[in-house]
């Protein structure tokens, strides 16, 4: 994968196939640059959460009553 | 008071008059319905108005009060509900074409509680489609506009509720808040809005956006009015699996406790960083006022605060896309373009992105809980900018740099949403163009009372909340 272009239109094609989401070509082309920005930020957050000090952290999907 | 001015009463003022039978619920409701008829053509804050039902309920309230049965401070008070909150027998569209004909057979728990308290529901308010966005530029029901300047946006997603309260077309309203959707419109419309602790108010029969972040709560002109509504809707609901079994305090009593000795935190390099100059100056002035009331302000570092926007975007993308998965495949063209695009993008994250974002929430929450050992609340602006022109997709915050609206709008309100904390937006002034500025106060879990105390004390020392738009 080209690091300058982490989400190419082909990546969107594959993700759509995996998700069984049929999208017209022009929509897939539009999504690629937007997803590239979102994924770059999400990957950055993932790197942060992978640090040793966070190893014991579990996801919070339900809040405690305190 | 002339009939045309009745809608200017706050809930608290009107409740006193209604209880003493110095004002009739029918008269008050008629004044509000008349105001809607005159003003809402310009604002488009309502998707559906309920004139006939409202008149019936008001007449019943009048009979009850005359007979000596006063149900409490909301009895006979005209209120509005965001259109993603179920109302039995009244269309509930969630601002969408997809639910355009949906007439619920049941009320939401919050609707039922308001009805039981005697509130008069005058209509269902405009919103960003399915609550997935912050502008209330609705492609199906029209653009909602800001009463302070109809060329500007009312923010969202509860933009209709915000505009309606500010324009006096209801005395209070309910909104929903996932990443800021009550606080953002409260800020730009110059009113008060509270996002509760997750679990404090039932989400039963409210169309979801993101299950792990959704909340329902009041928007009104004063903190006291928010308290009166909040006291009615808060509390455990066995119909909502996420509802907390935490006792609800007497919030009205909390308001009398004052604020001397409370401590408020500013988050280092975040609370007042990257905001429009007028917003920063106005919030600094509000902090001075709070200090003058005996509150100590100190700065606290929160190293994990950066990353909040990505986490919010990830969760707010993946969860709605899960809820909308079937409709996106069968009715894609029935969505507006912006929401359709966001739902498509939400299908393309990795599961690990979503779970790391949920892990980030734990880290952020822990930092806040540590911070609450030193302070009772944190303060930020609600939004880094004032109301932008309707239809804008970018905003300039500083240095002439255009930024994406969706990310910019999440700068401050996403943080308490992620951490599951309550947060109050209070109007604290205006910019040079006469557009309102809001301040966000973030509290401990289930400590909405301290936020109400701080907001109420601030409103007691200032008069921003008494100003009305000229629409």
3-state secondary structure B229-258: HHHHHECCCCCCCCCCCCCCCCHHHHHCCC
Give the pLDDT of residue A1: 45
**Helix or strand run (H / E) with residue B130:** none
Q: How far apart are CA B419 and CA B409, in angstroms?
A: 17
Domains identified in chain B and CATH numbers: 3-466 (3.90.1300.10)
Closest CA of chain B from A48, distance in Å: 9
Question: Does A44 sit within 8 Å of B361, measured CB to CB?
Answer: no
Domain boundaries, chain A: 1-66
B345, B356, B446: residue with CB nearest A46: B356
Q: How far apart are CA B275 and CA B272, in angstroms?
A: 7
| B30 neighbors B459 (Cβ within 8 angstroms) | no
B244 chain-A contacts, CB cut-off 8 A: 63, 65
How far, CA to CA in Å, does A34 sit from each of A7, B159, B338, B341? Answer: 9, 26, 12, 10
Beta-sheet pairing, B46-49 with B120-125: antiparallel
Chain A contact for B348 (CB, 8 A cutoff):
yes
B356, B420, B445: residue with CB nearest A45: B356
Chain A contact for B194 (CB, 8 A cutoff):
no
Question: In the annotation, is B310 catalytic?
Answer: no
Q: Which chain A residue lies closest to B305 (C-alpha atoms)?
A: A45
Beta partners for B267?
Answer: B300
DSSP track, B403-419: EEHHHHHTTTTHHHHHH
In tens digits, chain B (471 residues) has pLDDT values of 666 689 999 999 999 999 999 999 999 999 999 999 999 999 999 999 999 999 999 999 999 999 999 999 999 999 999 999 999 999 999 999 999 999 999 999 999 999 999 999 999 999 999 999 999 999 999 999 999 999 999 999 999 999 999 999 999 999 999 999 999 999 999 999 999 999 999 999 999 999 999 999 999 999 999 999 999 999 999 999 999 999 999 999 999 999 999 999 999 999 999 999 999 999 999 999 999 999 999 999 999 999 899 999 999 999 999 999 999 999 999 999 999 999 999 999 999 999 999 999 999 999 999 999 999 999 999 999 999 999 999 999 999 999 999 889 999 999 999 999 999 999 999 999 999 999 999 999 999 999 999 999 999 999 999 999 999
DSSP track, B247-303: PPP-HHHHHTT--TT-EEEEETTTTTSS--HHHHHHHHHHHHHHHHTT-EEEEE--T
Question: Does A27 sit within 8 Å of B348, measured CB to CB?
Answer: no
Q: What one-character DSSP code corresponds to residue B466? A: G
Question: In the annotation, is B187 catalytic?
Answer: no
B197, B350, B360: residue with CB nearest A45: B360
CA A27, distance to chain mean position in Å, is 18
Question: In the annotation, is B82 catalytic?
Answer: yes
**Reported ipTM:** 0.93
Q: How far apart are CA B167 and CA B217, in angstroms?
A: 19
B317 chain-A contacts, CB cut-off 8 A: 38
Question: Does A38 sit within 8 Å of B329, measured CB to CB?
Answer: no
CA B448, distance to chain mean position in Å, is 14
Residues 6+ apart with CB under 8 A from B408: B384, B385, B395, B397
| B87 neighbors B107 (Cβ within 8 angstroms) | yes
| B458 neighbors B290 (Cβ within 8 angstroms) | yes
**Helix or strand run (H / E) with residue B194:** strand B192-195
| B74 neighbors B61 (Cβ within 8 angstroms) | no
A34, A46, A59: residue with CB nearest B362: A59
């Amino acid at each position: 994968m080209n690091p300058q272009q982490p989400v190419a239109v082909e990546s969107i094609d594959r993700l759509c196939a995996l998700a069984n989401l049929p999208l017209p070509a022009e929509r897939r082309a539009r999504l690629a640059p937007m997803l590239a920005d979102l994924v770059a930020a999400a990957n950055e957050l993932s790197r942060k959460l992978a640090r040793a000090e966070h190893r014991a952290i579990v996801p919070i999907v339900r809040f405690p009553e305190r | 008071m002339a009939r045309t001015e009745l809608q200017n009463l706050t809930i608290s003022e009107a409740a006193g008059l209604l209880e003493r039978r110095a004002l009739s619920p029918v008269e008050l409701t008629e004044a509000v319905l008349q105001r809607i008829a005159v003003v809402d053509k310009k604002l488009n804050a309502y998707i559906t108005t309920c004139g006939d039902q409202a008149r019936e309920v008001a007449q019943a309230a009048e009979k009850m009060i005359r007979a000596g049965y006063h149900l409490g401070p909301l009895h006979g008070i005209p209120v509005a509900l965001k259109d993603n909150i179920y109302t039995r027998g009244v269309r509930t569209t969630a601002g969408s074409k997809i639910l355009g004909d949906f007439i619920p057979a049941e009320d939401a728990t919050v609707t039922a509680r308001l009805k039981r308290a005697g509130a008069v529901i005058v209509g269902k308010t405009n919103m960003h489609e399915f609550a997935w966005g912050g502008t209330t530029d609705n492609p199906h029901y029209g653009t909602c506009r800001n009463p302070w300047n109809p060329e500007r946006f009312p923010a969202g997603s509860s933009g209709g509720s915000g505009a309606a309260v500010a324009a006096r077309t209801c005395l209070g309203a309910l909104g929903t808040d996932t990443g800021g959707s009550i606080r953002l419109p409260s800020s730009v419309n110059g009113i008060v809005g509270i996002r509760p602790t997750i679990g404090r108010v039932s989400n039963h029969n409210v169309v979801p956006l993101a299950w792990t972040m959704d909340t329902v709560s009041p928007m009104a002109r004063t903190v006291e009015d928010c308290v009166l509504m909040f006291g009615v809707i808060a509390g455990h609901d066995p119909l909502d699996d996420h509802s907390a079994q935490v006792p609800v305090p007497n919030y009205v009593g909390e308001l009398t406790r004052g604020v001397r000795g409370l401590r408020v935190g500013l988050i280092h390099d975040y609370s007042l960083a990257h905001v429009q100059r007028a917003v920063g100056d106005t919030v600094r002035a509000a902090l001075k006022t709070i200090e003058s009331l005996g509150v100590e302000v100190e700065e606290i570092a929160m190293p994990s605060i950066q990353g909040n926007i990505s986490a919010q975007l990830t969760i707010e993308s993946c969860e709605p896309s899960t809820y909308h998965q079937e409709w996106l495949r069968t009715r894609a063209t029935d969505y507006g373009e912006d929401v359709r695009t966001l739902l498509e993008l939400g299908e393309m994250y990795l599961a690990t992105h979503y779970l790391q974002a949920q892990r980030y929430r734990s880290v952020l929450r822990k930092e806040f809980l540590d911070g609450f050992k030193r302070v009772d609340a944190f303060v930020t602006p609600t939004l880094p900018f004032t109301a932008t022109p309707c239809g804008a997709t970018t905003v300039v915050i500083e240095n002439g740099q255009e930024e994406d609206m969706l990310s910019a709008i999440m700068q401050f309100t996403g943080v308490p949403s992620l951490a599951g904390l309550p947060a109050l937006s209070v109007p604290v002034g205006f910019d040079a163009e006469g557009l309102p500025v809001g301040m966000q106060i973030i509290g401990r879990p289930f400590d909405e009372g301290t936020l109400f105390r701080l907001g109420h004390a601030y409103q007691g020392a200032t008069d921003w909340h008494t100003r009305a738009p000229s629409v």
